Amino acid sequence: MDKNLEILISIDNLETYMDDLNDQKYIDKIQELGMTIDTKALASLEKTRSDLLDELTPNLKREYLRLKKYYQNSPIPRAIVPIRFERGEGFCFGCSSKIPAEVFQRVKKYHTIERCENCGRFIFWPPLP
């Protein structure tokens, strides 16, 4: 798998987790269970995220941050999304557009960095190794 793609996926996972930790409903639920959120842990996640971003090529980092910002208030606030598989075809999880067959095959086989033609998000094929 492309090293940059691995990093993008790691950043996405981290951000999803960090969003939970910043979500008041999630925090309330945790506290109901008698646990607390460690704010120091959140700071260390933020540090890891910024280190990972710096490992990307400058172009990819810029694109990722631009997409993240652009989609931050959309129903799928992510810059990289998995491909959804349905009836033999691949669809973007972000905007539901069909992924052209040749692009889908390439992502599936080589895990190259590709983007949805419609929404521009980076796409990847699960399951991950």
Measured between alpha carbons, how far is 41 from 123 in angstroms, rounded to an integer?
29
Burial 111-125 (b: 16+ CB within 10 A, else e): bebbbbeebbbbbbb
Contact at 8 Å (CB) between 116 and 97? yes
Q: Residue 116 interacts with Zn ion (CB under 5 A)? A: yes
Measured between alpha carbons, how far is 13 from 5 in angstroms, rounded to an integer?
12
Query: Three-class SS of residue 71?
Result: coil
Q: Residue 92 interacts with Zn ion (CB under 5 A)? A: yes
Minimum Å gap between C-beta 96 and Zn ion is 7
Residue span binding Zn ion (CB under 5 A) among the ranges 14-22, 68-76, 101-109, 112-120: 112-120
DSSP 98: B
Considering only residues 101, 118, 126, 128, which one is a binding residue for Zn ion as defined by CB under 5 A? 118
Q: Residue 90 interacts with Zn ion (CB under 5 A)? A: no
Q: Residue 80 interacts with Zn ion (CB under 5 A)? A: no
Minimum Å gap between C-beta 124 and Zn ion is 12
Chain residues binding Zn ion by CB under 5 A are: 92, 94-95, 97, 116, 118-119
